[in-house]
Amino acid sequence: MQIDKNYFFREATLRICSSLEIEKALWDCFMYIREYIPADSMLIDIYDPIVGLGETIAKADLSGGKLISIKTVAPAETKKLIKEMRKNLEMTPKVLVADRIGDHPIMGPMSEIIGHPDSAFMAIWPNPEWGFVAGILVGNNRGEKYSEKHIQLFTLLNEPFTIALSNFLRYREVLRLKEILADDNRYLQEELRQQAGEEIVGARFGLKQVMEMVGQVAPLTSPVLLLGETGTGKEVIATALHNLSLRRNGPFIKVNCGAIPESLMDSELFGHEKGAFTGAFSQKRGRFERAQGGTIFLDEIGELTPGAQIRLLRVIHEKEIERVGGSETIKVDIRIIAATHRNLEAMLAEGKFRTDLYFRLRVFPIVIPPLCDRRADIPALVQYFMVKKTQELGFSEVPSLAPGAIEKLMNYNWPGNVRELQNTIEHALILSREKPLAFDNLSDINPCEETIMPQSNERNPQSLEQAMSHAIVNALNMTGGRVDGEKGAAKLLKINPSTLRTKMRKLGIRAGSIRAK
């Protein structure tokens, strides 16, 4: 029978390169070449000459194609022959032929895998310049010897199999790395859960209402807005929301919007294309893309630029983004948790925050109370931070508390909230030299800020609280009820905004009522 070699080459190549699933491509090729070459099975084998280990990675026969991973150690004589063959590439035959595979010095060790040592086989050797040796074998159990015509046809498939095998090995490596990344991600998520703790300190007392709200909204996909002073633990609550959600196995990406330079805000959040701007030497995925299938936590949301606010609104509404400098629309499946210590309503009035974005984010607001409003949590927090910081500092034992230490901590106002308490305990541990912690220098660690007190013309002196109240109300009247910012009362009084709000709550002063006057 006259065979058109070009037609044979084209049809066989289409089948060999039809799929990255090498077992499927091998079976398609096997079923086709059986019309021209005696074939009952085909195999793909790779051999590492450094360790002398061969691996049969795929097999095809009449039952179908399948991936296998059967490893064999080559005998010393076979190793030597392969080494010599690789040294003399010009003298190496393009195809190896054996009337009985069990007798062949190189293919012989594979006869146990094939299960038919009496079968006739031939093999081609794609790309002898690779760091390993690869072989494509075809054989028949009929006792039919391979003719020169068969050898010529099979040799035509050397280059197509080189391409297919190269693609498969790279694809297999990608899958391996993907599995490693997935495993690393699972490990990282578990580590984050362990660091966050299975139980949030204060969940049964000062944070009980907060945790009840977390439990209600965590299983849903609704955006959550966390409100509270700096240092109250908004990141801890955000982590709890993610860990209790259906997305717990997905990524949890944290973004401090206040720490990203304005010029890089869009690039960091949404990514950029190569050449989008000076310095964009390659394509970069943004934080939203990295959060695909998981949760993104946008801390200090009030620091977003106007442009970023518009693009964030699109993410929430359309569930899609565009990289900077790109035209392709990328669909994203993420849950957004935002947090801020700023007064977003005041920013709305000043035109610094978009109204539509505010109401999109404020679907389910959770207000986290400051530490001074949940003093019952202080003893548990102290014990938790003492153990944690002792381990981090490498101390052998957790020191005890001196008499009256807890009372000092309970009576302090903690303008820096939980973060200040944590730093105070670490500071005390460093100074204690394993002695009981007394916190005698608590006022030195974080002294109260001085306030500007207006002079009174009254003959009867005011109480301290009256004088403070008078000063705060005057400052709020002068700033139109604004607490923080360059034109806020805190700036005027030279006091931390968080401390000012704490004093206002204690004195019963409401900024809203001041604005109404």
Pair of tokens at residue 473: 């109300």
Q: How many angstroms from the chain centroid is the CA of residue 454?
A: 53
Among 285, 262, 264, smallest CA distance to 274 is for 285
Q: b/e string for 399-428 if b means 16 or more Cβ within 10 A?
A: bebbeebbeebeebbbbbbbebbbbbbbbb
Is the per-residue pLDDT at 298 higher than 60?
yes
| The token pair that represents 502 in the structure block | 């704490």
Q: Strand (E) positions, 49-116?
A: 53-61, 64-73, 95-98
Q: How confident is the model at residue 448 (pLDDT cuts 50, 70, 90)?
A: very low
Topology annotation, domain 198-367: Rossmann fold (3.40.50)
Architecture of domain 372-445: Orthogonal Bundle (1.10)
- Overall size of the chain counted in residues: 517
pLDDT at 87: 73
For residues 511 and 483, is the Cβ–Cβ distance under 8 A?
Answer: yes
Q: 45 and 52 in contact (C-beta within 8 Å)?
A: no
* Other CB atoms within 10 A of residue 364 CB: 17
Q: Which CATH class is domain 5-171?
A: alpha beta
pTM of the model: 0.56
CA 511, chain centre distance (Å): 41
Range of weakest confidence among 35-39, 502-506, 511-515: 511-515
pLDDT at 194 > cutoff 80: no
Residue 279 CB partners (closer than 8 Å, separation 6+)? none
Q: What's residue 470's pLDDT? A: 75
pLDDT tens, residue by residue, 87-128: 765 555 678 898 888 888 888 877 777 777 888 999 888 765
Q: Of all residues in the chain, what percent carry a pLDDT higher than 90?
A: 38
What token pair was written down for 409? 């901590």
Residue 247, CB-side half-sphere exposure with 13 Å CA sphere:
26
Interval 231-271: pLDDT, tens: 999 999 999 999 999 998 899 999 999 889 888 888 999 99
User: What average pLDDT does range 74-83 have in this prediction?
Assistant: 83
Cα–Cα nearest to 186, from 235, 252, 254, 240: 252
Smallest CA-to-CA distance from 95 within 35, 176, 23, 149 is with 149
Contact, 61 vs 30, CB < 8 A?
yes
Decide if pLDDT at 354 tops 60: yes
Nearest alpha carbon to residue 232 among 197, 202, 195, 193 = 202
Domain residue limits, the chain:
5-171, 198-367, 372-445, 464-516
Per-residue pLDDT of 449-475, as tens digits, reads 333 333 444 444 455 666 777 778 777
Asked if residue 308 lies in contact with residue 265, where contact means CB atoms within 8 angstroms, the answer is: yes
> What tens digit of pLDDT does each residue of 413-424 get?
898 999 999 999
Q: DSSP states of 171-222 as a string? A: HHHHHHHHHHHHHHHHHHHHHHHHHH-SS-TTTTTTTHHHHHHHHHHTTS--
Same topology between domain 5-171 and domain 372-445: no
336 phi/psi in degrees, rounded to 5: -105, 125
pLDDT tens digits, 9-60: 999 999 999 898 999 999 999 999 999 999 999 999 988 888 788 889 999 9
Closest Cα to residue 216, out of 356, 101, 364? 364
- Percent of the chain at pLDDT exceeding 70: 88
- Number of Cβ atoms within 10 Å of the Cβ of 483: 22
Q: Give me 469's structure tokens.
A: 């109240």
Whether residue 439 contacts residue 421, with contact meaning beta carbons closer than 8 Å, is answered with: no
pLDDT for residue 66 is more than 50: yes
